Amino acid sequence: MSGWAYVAAILGCGLGACARFSLGWLDHRRTFPWPTILANILGSALLGAVVAAGDDALLSPGWAFALGTGVAGGLSTFSSLAVDVVVMLKDRRHHATARYVLATGVLGMGAAGAGFALVTALS
């Protein structure tokens, strides 16, 4: 892979991280970690679409790397999910924690599948 792909991935990661940070403004009260779950769903959908586009040769390996690893990787966040879970458990919000973890997994995988299916159907 060429050097430009690594630079593009670094820039894409910054773009994805800024988008994830911006989603935090959606919930000032932080009653439920909606910004994190939304970032993970969007990142999963993007990565599913990128993988499908790479499989169908719509994206070069360099672009797939830059968009998948860079943008989708910068947007989605396992570390924020983990910290949200620890904080929610500390606050004894067990039912909300269980819903959060389940929703993140199910919706994230569904979004990845939807992104993949959409690109596959359009190509």
Distance CA 111, CA 30 (A): 23
Find out whether 73 is annotated in a ligand binding site: yes
CA of 71: how far to CAs of 10, 63, 99, in Å?
9, 11, 27
Could you give the dihedral angle defined by the CA atoms of residues 113, 34, 80 and 46, in that order, rounded to the nearest 10 degrees? 30
Dig out the tokens for 63 from the structure.
């672009």
Query: Does residue 69 contact residue 11 with C-beta atoms inside 8 Å?
Result: no
76 is in an annotated binding site: yes
Q: Which residues contribute to the annotated binding site for Na(+)?
A: 73, 76
Q: Which residues contribute to the annotated binding site?
A: 73, 76
